[in-house]
Amino acid sequence: MNKRLFALLVILMSLSLIGIIFVQAYFINNSLENKEGQFTFNVRKALTYTTNQIADNEYKKYVHALNKIIADGREPDSTAIRNITVYKQDKTTNRITIYNTGILEENFKVPSLIDLNVDSLGLSNFRGKSTTKIYDNTVYADDMVSNNEQSFEKVLNMDKLQKATFETQYKSEIKNTPIHQRVTSFDIKNLLSKKLKEDNIDIDFEFAIFHNNIGTKIQSANFDQSLIPLLGVPIFLDDNDESDFMLFINFPERKKFIVSSIIGVTLLSMLFTLIIIIAYTSALYQLIKQRKISQMKSDFINNMTHEFKTPIATINLALDAIKNPKIISDQVKVLRYLQMIKEENKRMNAQVENVLRISQLQKKQLNISKDRYKLHDLIDDAITHVELIVEDRKGYIKTHFNADKSSVLANDTYFTNVIVNILDNAIKYSPEAPKIDVYTENVANNILLSIKDQGKGMNKAVQKRIFEEFYREYTGDVHNVKGHGLGLSNVKRIVENHQGIVSVESEKGRGSTCLLYTSPSPRDS
């Protein structure tokens, strides 16, 4: 996969993930808004129900008292009758039939049922009246209007016109009654609680009645006018559906209640989103890691090619030289070229063995036998492998053996290879003549081996990754430093197999120091 395609896939996947997160956020926010709207609707419905119920109860209470007064037999102050009379005479039977239809208006004065500054209230009752009388023409009655006793109909049975007239008069009279005489906090709380619970709103609430934006005595103990949102509806409406009184309600735990109603779905949604994020980041991390490994392996192949190219070319040149008739007769030159072939072949074999050894270390199949050795002897042995290269480049390797106890439990071959790898890196990354100092000292119960060079050094980012497999400091496509990025990772594995610790200290342009801590041999005195 090329770099551009990989970057495009990462961008598309990232945008998709961001889109999913935004969709989830929109869903949660929309659900919250819907719950808010439903909550507000149900609260307003409860408020309207409460105010209507309170007004109806007050009206019924008044009517009940009025009916009781009327039932006691109170006589009307005056009566007026408006009649329409039709006469019909039957000539055969000599009889007269009179059809009488009228409206009876009775006016009452009743004591005031409301706490007002008046003694009594006026009330008119309108009743329909229809009579039929038949007279013998020979018998004439002077009174053609029945004086049957009329009873006062109850207010609840009034026709629409009567009831409207009565309510208008009632509302105009009662509006001047103090609010605390018309309703109690107990009644409001009971009505609100009942209606709210019907809509599954079972939380604490506070309420109050305000008169022209001024609080009245009718309110709960902990009502807070500043608590937002404050919902309210008018109470005790007049004929114009207006009122100076407002019933307000608020909920101290409104937000908590609304959020709790969607918390289950929200948490489930967030959990799935989190799983998607974790899966995405893990997949992306693995993709990037695999891509880096792929790049590192590609660099490894390129560098191994460079490592084998030189000895193969040298061997081919030596063979071509031996084939030359002038050379083949010169035994000294032939032996020289044969030695070159042998050394280059040995070099290639060492590279193959190094790769195989690393493969074994990766699979943790390497069985390292250990014995007691002097660390200083292993260091001297390692120096002999690279001193010709150092001398050829006009450099030096100086030893500073300050450790009194230098015996270690190690495998001489592998531990020597560790030191060789560290020295080899110091030589490779010294642009000028390599100048290397090797120190040993005893630190507590451990032996510290320090290999210090004056090469080009490295930055902090490179230091953190220097012991990673296949890792090499990026230099573009230039492979001016031989190697395959496996040397130091191999060093780390072998040192850890010897129960040691390896680290590096470096500064760009000022060289590096490789530090190797190892435990002394138990028999070292």
DSSP state letters, 211-247: ETTEEEEEE-TT--TTSSS-EEEEES--TTS--SEEE
- Considering only 61-70, 285-294, 328-337, which range has the smallest mean pLDDT? 61-70
Quick one: pLDDT at residue 208? 93
Q: In the predicted model, what is the mean pLDDT of the chain?
A: 76
pLDDT of res. 139: 45
pLDDT digits (tens, 9 = 90+) for 351-383: 676 666 656 655 555 567 788 999 999 999 888
> Long-range contacts of range 323-327, CB-CB < 8 Å, 24 or more positions apart?
none
Q: What is the 3-state secondary structure (H, E, C) of 331-393?
A: HHHHHHHHHHHHHHHHHHHHHHHHHHHHHHHHCCCCCCCCEEEEHHHHHHHHHHHHHHHHHHC
CB atoms within 10 A of CB 102: 17
Q: Residues 6 or more apart from 327 whose CB is under 8 A from it?
A: 321, 333, 334, 337
**Tens-place pLDDT, residues 192-251:** 999 999 999 999 999 999 998 888 889 998 898 887 788 999 998 877 788 889 999 999
Tell me the Ramachandran region of residue 96: left when phi exceeds 0, alpha when psi lies from -120 to 50, beta otherwise: beta
pLDDT cut 70: percent of the chain above it: 69
Q: Residues 401, 440: contact at Cβ < 8 Å?
A: yes
pLDDT one-digit tens code per residue, 120-176:
555 555 555 555 666 665 444 444 433 333 333 445 455 666 666 667 766 766 777
Calculate mean pLDDT across residues 323-336: 84
Q: pLDDT tens across 85-113, in order?
A: 545 555 666 666 555 545 555 555 555 54
Position 76 scores a pLDDT of 56
Q: DSSP label at 432?
A: S
For 400-432, the pLDDT digits (tens) are 999 988 888 888 878 888 888 888 888 888 888
Give the pLDDT of residue 369. Answer: 78
Q: Are 400 and 439 in contact (CB under 8 A)?
A: yes
As given in the structure block, the two tokens for residue 405 are 């106890």
Instruction: List own/partner pairs for 201-206 with CB under 8 A and 24 or more apart.
Output: 201/39, 201/42, 201/43, 201/46, 201/257, 203/251, 203/253, 203/254, 203/257, 204/251, 204/252, 204/253, 205/249, 205/250, 205/251, 205/252, 206/249, 206/250, 206/251, 206/252
CA-to-CA distance for 241 and 221, rounded, in angstroms?
Answer: 29
| pLDDT recorded at residue 145 | 37
Closest CA to 133 of 71, 72, 90, 87: 87
Work out the angle between the directed axes of helices 331-362 and 487-497 (0-180°, nearest 10).
60
% pLDDT > 90, the chain:
17
